[in-house]
Structure 1
Amino acid sequence: MLSCHRLVTPSASPSASRQTFALAGWLALCFAATGTAAFVSTDGWYAGINKPTWNPPSWVFAPAWTFLYATMAVAAWLVWREGGWRAQGRALGVFVLQWVLNALWTPLFFGLHRPGLALIDILALWLVLGATLMAFWRVRRAAGVLLLPYLAWVTFATALNFMIWRLNP
């Protein structure tokens, strides 16, 4: 039977210590995106702008992103375990691209107070994240599944960003 999925050549599994180090690295990378918030002023701009009635309370964001960054890291780690960068360079490369777009959103939205630019960024993030999810799914289905909550959240965040842009001309 022919399969449309790319075959991955089995290779020697990385040692337990190397896998642990790699997982720690993926976690560090994913959570490093929160570092962009350190360069953003908390001058009350967000509290003063118009938001839709369905805007979640501020306390929701930290636990949501903690969960999402952790699942992103585990997903990337699962793909990395299938042959490392040499075998999975495309899938991991598109993952890094979506991470860059994710990290850019906070300074665009909160730092520069530019919901329009942030909307362009998050739309690009949504597209690249969709490509990442598909690439991860092909390599390791569990890795793709782990990105589904992230895609759902980015979809919601895109709608919220759009409404904030519309409500604050």
Structure 2
Amino acid sequence: MEDTQLRQRVSEEVINKAGNDVDEITKNKKQTKRAAMARRGLRSLAISVIIPVSLTFISRLIHIGQHKPANSLLAPWAMHTFFAISSLVMGLAAWLVWADGGFHRKPISLGLYLTHLVLTLAWDPAVFGFAADMIGLVVSVAMLAALTGCATTFRQLKPLAGDLALVSVLWGGVIVGLNLMHMYR
């Protein structure tokens, strides 16, 4: 009967070494999990920035030949650059809000962001493609309103994102001013 209850006598060094191996395996799993989360985070950040900037560049490239330098108060390359910077900053701000789960807490913020993106893409063809200054003014005022709404809701969800969105609000104000000056020039 004593055969079934045999135990191996193990020194304490072997027990401690086995315990450390388990701790090391757990530590490696945690590090691997964190690295995977970081890669997913960087991937989502890249997507949230690249898509709006790419759409902005594509929209601007389609209508670049339609700019009339005599009627434009700002050089076309400068406007394209500022629109791209605005899209980049808003993409970063939207990602910050998304990463904290803000679009689930306040779905209106996602709607305002998408509205801003669509209006940003529509402004250049309206003003320079169709030469519809009044439609361009309406689009730019709506874009400014959407940007202001984004900045307000983003600030409530993540203050840094709201501060970043203020850069785009400033650019939206410049666009409204440029559009007014373009109309009455």
Verify: 1:94 aligned to 2:112, yes or no.
yes
Alpha carbons 2:60, 2:80 under 8 Å: kept:
no
Aligned with 2:46 (options 24, 32, 36): 24
* TM superposition shift of 1:64: 2.5
CA distance in 2, matches of 1:150, 1:124: 13
For the residues of structure 2 that align with 1:142 and 1:83, how far apart are their CA atoms?
Answer: 15
Residue aligned with 2:74, SS? coil
Query: Within 5 A, what are the aligned runs for 1:1-169?
Result: 15-31=37-53, 32-40=55-63, 42-43=65-66, 46-49=68-71, 55-83=73-101, 85-167=103-185
Summarize the Cα distance change of 1:38–1:25 in structure 2 as closer, same or farther, 3 Å threshold: same
Q: Which moved more, 1:111-120 or 1:137-146?
A: 111-120
- Alpha-carbon deviations, 1:48-70, whole Å to 9, x = none? 33x5xxx3344433432332222
Does the C-alpha gap of structure 1 residues 98 and 62 become closer, same or farther in structure 2, counting only changes over 3 Å?
Answer: closer
Residues 43-89 of structure 1 deviation map (CA, whole Å, 9 limit, x = unaligned)? 4x51233x5xxx33444334323322221111011000112643443
The number of residue pairs the alignment matches comes to 150
Contact 2:57 2:84 in 1 (8 A): no
Structure 1 pair 108–58 and aligned structure 2 pair: CA distance change class (3 A): closer
Larger of the two Rg values belongs to structure: 2
* Pairwise CA distance, 1:92: 1.9
Q: 2: distance between equivalents of 1:80 and 1:148?
A: 18
- For the residues of structure 1 that align with 2:168 and 2:133, how far apart are their CA atoms? 20
Going from structure 1 to structure 2, the CA distance change for 1:130 and 1:119 (only over 3 Å counts) comes to same
**Aligned residue for 2:30?**
none
Aligned Cα root-mean-square deviation (Å):
2.2
By how many angstroms is 1:123 displaced? 0.6
Report sequence identity in percent.
Answer: 23
TM-score of the two chains, using structure 1 as the length reference:
0.78
Q: Which has the higher contact order (CA 8 A, sep 6+)?
A: 1
Q: State the AA in 2 paired with 1:37.
A: R
Equivalent position of 1:5 in the other structure: none
Closer/same/farther in 2, CA of residues 34 and 25 from structure 1, 3 Å limit: same
More helix by share: 2
CA separation in 2, counterparts of 1:155 and 1:120? Answer: 13
Task: Answer yes or no: is the 8 Å Cα contact 1:30–1:99 preserved in 2.
Answer: yes
Q: Which runs of 5+ in 1 are unaligned?
A: 1-12
